[in-house]
Amino acid sequence: MTQLPNRAPSAALLDRVWSTLGLAPVEVDSGAPFAHAVPLESRLATADLAWASVRAVCLAAGVDSLPDPDRIAVAYRSDRVLTVDGRAPDVWSPYSGFFRASDGWIRTHGNYPHHAMRLLTGLGLGIDAAGEDVRAAILTQSAADAVDRIVDAGGLAVPVLPEDPIHDAQLRSAPLLQVDRMPSPSGEEPRRRDGDDRRAPLTGTRVLDLTRVIAGPVCSRTLALLGADVLRVDPPQLPEPEWQHFDTGHGKRSTLLDAGTERFDELLAEADVVVLGYRPAALARLGLSASALIERHPSLVIAELSAWGDDHPSRAGFDSLVQAESGIAMIETPDGDRPGVLPAQALDHSAGYLLAASIISLLERRRREGGGWVVRTSLRRVAAELLGMPRSSGSRSVSGSERERVLDLAAHTATFDVAGQTITTARSALPGLDLAAPHRWGSDQPRW
């Protein structure tokens, strides 16, 4: 029998989001005719989190149709359906994953070359070390010692821990989306949008995208889908894996530019929205913290995403690491011993959609009330939200019909030609809207 969705958790989450954004409670979904649950099977309420996050964008943007649960699932697992010239890219480095230590487990992340090099250095291994060499080196150490050595060398690793309900409750005592209004000086006027097309409500809105990996790019990709002019800016010295940009770069232009240049300041001066996805401490060093940007440009709408939140401004992280340290990995264990994972990088994707919904809403509030606006969240805060939602105590097995729905991709993927390469990616999770082709990473000029 097809599982029906649990309306209560997703509706409750939507109500909390709407209250945070200063909007009326959501009643439109109280009796919505869902066809079935989002097929993201897990013990935690991953399906409800995904539904509510995508639905929040639809409601904020005036998209009346309900999203397709199957398409949401495919969009959340977009890295698994991406192909470049018919081939699936190697998504995970052999240095990324769960590794058993002498007294437990750790999770590492080495997908970027500089992170891989630092991880190997911390473990005393050479640049040609294989994944099995990493496994052997970690197995001889305690989890705490292995993590300390990797982190001290500038690499990324966390211990796999059980959940901490008291800490999660403390995190949930703060809003999932922290919204702050910054009054503008007298006479300060935001740049007006050029149009108000219901299918493209952000037409004329300029978005400066300073994000990487998944959550921030999903947010800015969604804004581009809704008509915004999105320019992603990356530092020239930090290359991005080509496949990763193809996965989340739809509808955006991409340029390479140092943040300390005069040209960057000119781009910033003409932006309506800035999306920040780097560590808060790194942004502060560059003069790009939300407070610094608002001081220079008081009518901006700023979305700031971090892995661990403002309490850990210097700490880098990714969805997989937050799952491991927050307790999610052990809740999703396949056998009671080995850590497991959510069926998608749901913290990333949900954070991206929730921030996009916030930006749309705050642009409208800026139009009505003036001022600048800042919205913040973190992957760890999204994890705390998920850990506080009702969960299943049953197995994670997926029924045949659900597996077929997830793997029946013809209706939920799109193919683009990008500079002679054939790219197949997940289609938009928002009903009635189609993603535009991604550009090549760094291939555009730094201009609006």
Mean pLDDT (the chain) is: 90
- Does the pLDDT of residue 80 top 80, yes or no? yes
Number of H helices, E strands in the chain: 18, 13
Closest CA to 100 of 24, 160, 169, 15: 160
pLDDT of residue 399: 39
Measured CA to CA, the distance from residue 299 to residue 295 in angstroms comes to 9
Across 350-372, average pLDDT: 95
pLDDT recorded at residue 402: 43
Inter-residue contact 275 to 355 (CB < 8 Å): yes
Phi, psi at 207, each rounded to 5°: -120, 120
Q: What is the pLDDT of residue 3?
A: 43
β-sheet bridge partners, residue 422:
417
**Which of 22 and 364 is assigned the larger pLDDT?**
364
Q: Domains of the chain: which residue ranges? A: 1-90+163-448, 97-162
CB 144 within 8 A of CB 159: yes
Whole-prediction pTM: 0.94
Residue 115 has pLDDT above 70, yes or no: yes
3-state secondary structure of 380: helix
| Per-residue pLDDT at 76 exceeds 90 | yes
Structure tokens at 152: 């001290």
Supply the pLDDT for residue 4.
Answer: 44
Average pLDDT over residues 370-393: 94
The reported pLDDT for the residue numbered 1 is 33
Amino acid identity, position 112? Y
Active site residues: 348
Contact 341/43 with Cβ under 8 angstroms? Answer: no
Span 117-135, pLDDT tens digits: 999 999 999 999 999 999 9
Amino acid occupying residue 400: G
CB atoms within 10 A of CB 99: 21
Q: Which residue, 376, 62, 364, is CA-closest to 190?
A: 364
Strand ranges (E), 228-338? 229-234, 253-256, 273-276, 301-306
User: What gap in Å lies between CA 230 and CA 222, rounded to an integer?
Assistant: 10
Q: Given the DSSP bridges, would you call strands 421-426 and 83-84 parallel, antiparallel or unpaired?
A: antiparallel
Phi, psi of 412, rounded to the nearest 5 degrees: -120, 15
How many CB atoms within 10 Å of residue 138?
A: 25
Distance CA 89, CA 75 (A): 17
User: What pairing do the DSSP bridges indicate for beta strands 413-418 and 421-426?
Assistant: antiparallel
Name the region of 340 (left: φ>0; alpha: ψ -120 to 50; beta: rest): beta
pLDDT of residue 37: 87
Q: Are 230 and 223 in contact (CB under 8 A)?
A: yes
Measured distance CA(105)–CA(115) in Å, rounded: 19
- At 16, is the pLDDT very low, low, confident or very high (cuts 50, 70, 90)? confident
Mean pLDDT of 324-344: 97
CA dihedral 299, 355, 376, 301 (to 10 degrees): 0
In eight-state DSSP terms, residue 31 is T
157-166, 224-233, 395-404: least confidently modelled range: 395-404
Strands 206-210 and 229-234: parallel
- Tokens 């661990």, residue? 308
Report whether 426 contacts 78 (CB < 8 A): yes
In eight-state DSSP terms, residue 299 is T
For position 106, what pLDDT does the model report? Answer: 98
Helix (H) or strand (E) run with residue 61 in it = helix 46-61
- Over residues 415-432, the mean pLDDT reads 95
Which carries the bigger pLDDT value, residue 88 or residue 6? 88
CATH class of this structure's domain 1-90+163-448: alpha beta
pLDDT band for position 231 (cuts 50, 70, 90)? very high
Whole-number percent of the chain with pLDDT over 70: 89
Q: Closest Cα to residue 107, out of 324, 332, 317? A: 324
Q: What is the pLDDT of residues 392-410, one digit of tens each?
A: 865 554 433 444 444 567 7
Calculate helix-pair angle for 215-225, 346-369, nearest 10 degrees.
Answer: 50
The share of the chain scoring above pLDDT 90, in percent, equals: 78
Helix 346-369 vs helix 379-387: crossing angle, to nearest 10: 110
Q: Which whole number is the average pLDDT over 250-275?
A: 96
Q: Is the pLDDT of residue 31 over 70?
A: no
Nearest 5 degrees, angle CA 185-CA 190-CA 195? 165
